[in-house]
Structure formats: C-alpha cells, structure tokens
Structure 1
Amino acid sequence: MNKIQKLILAIFVPIIFFFIAVFIAKGAVGYRSSTLF
C-alpha cells in the first residue's frame, strides 16, 4: 500500500471500531444511555 492508503486506514479504522463499540454499549445498557452518545 502507498502512504495515502495507510493514512486513510490509520484514520478510519479506529473510528469504525469506536462506533461499533458505542453501538454494542448502547445495545447492552439499553436506551437509558442513548442521550449520552
């Protein structure tokens, strides 16, 4: 991969994992904490 592709992965991969973690957390806790996200 070139430097641009590595830069894109370095930016978007953590963001994707963050949203997945938030989605799982909202599903596990329930809608009570939906206003926190």
Structure 2
Amino acid sequence: MNEKFRSFFLNLSSLISDFFGLLNDHQFITGRIIADG
C-alpha cells in the first residue's frame, strides 16, 4: 500500500471518529438541557 495514501486514510478515519464523538457530545448535552428544562 502507498505510504502517503495510508497516512491520509489514517488521518481521515481519526477525523471521522472525532466528528462522531462531537456529535455524540452534542446530543448528550442537548438531551441533558431538555431533561433539566
């Protein structure tokens, strides 16, 4: 496998996991606000 492609793919997958982590945090926070409100 091409090394440049491999590093790009690893960066992409880490970005995607960070993005979904932010989405989960956002849903959790809004859920708490709704529950508290």
Shared topology, TM-score over 0.5? yes
Runs of 5+ consecutive residues of structure 1 not aligned to the other structure: 33-37
Which fold has the larger relative contact order, with Cα–Cα distance below 8 Å and residues 6 or more apart in sequence?
1
| RMSD value, Cα | 1.8
- Size of the aligned set, in residue pairs, is 32
Identity percentage of aligned residues: 12
The one-letter code matched in structure 2 to 1:27 is Q
Report the structure number with the largest CA radius of gyration. Answer: 2
Runs of 5+ consecutive residues of structure 2 not aligned to the other structure: none
TM superposition score normalised by structure 1: 0.65
Q: Deviations over 1:1-36 (max 9, x none)?
A: 21122011121111110000000110011186xxxx
